[in-house]
Amino acid sequence: MDRAQKEQLVDELGQIFESSGVVVVSHYAGLTVAEMQDLRARAREAGGSVRVAKNRLAKIALEGKPCASIADLLTGMTVLTYSEDPVAAAKVAQDFAKGNDNFVILGGAMGENALDASGVEAVSKMPSREELIATIAGMLGAPASNIAGAIGAPASNIASILS
């Protein structure tokens, strides 16, 4: 890898660190190619991505970024799982780690907040953006359906009395 390619990789990683809602750092030593492809597919389905990068280049890319606190986690064979949705990457990583002993979550960052392994687990248990939107939409629609039911109820009561 020549210097220009390294600079391009550092720029790409810098954009990832700036735009991601959450970045999860994990060790992946011992994973097969098929397992790694499965992880990538799961992340893609959830709207996230998986990236393996040289630790030294990732540390350079982290300088001055909000999630610079994860630089200490970048040792050994590490993989970055990230997404714009603050919950998606954490859920993917946590679910994948449950089924693979060779995939060990070290920690991560959610914006400027550093997360340890238990913090990543806590984030993974939060509802996703889509679930929150569905909940809010249900709450907004409930009063309207309650009003319609209340308006229709007296008429049905009168009809049953008359019959």
- Identify the band that residue 66 occupies on the pLDDT scale cut at 50, 70 and 90: confident
The tally of domains found in the chain comes to 2
Same domain membership, residue 18 and residue 93: yes
The predicted-structure confidence for 99-135, as pLDDT tens digits, reads as follows 888 999 999 998 888 889 888 888 888 877 777 777 7
E strands within the chain? 22-27, 48-51, 78-83, 104-110, 113-116
Same domain membership, residue 56 and residue 90: yes
Query: Residue 27 — φ and ψ, nearest 5°?
Result: -90, 140
Residue 64, token pair as written in the block: 């001055």
Whole-structure pTM value: 0.75
In 3D space, the residue among 8, 90, 7 whose CA is nearest the CA of residue 47 turns out to be 90
Neighbours of 32 (CB within 10 A): 10
pLDDT for 146 equals 59
Same domain membership, residue 64 and residue 141: no
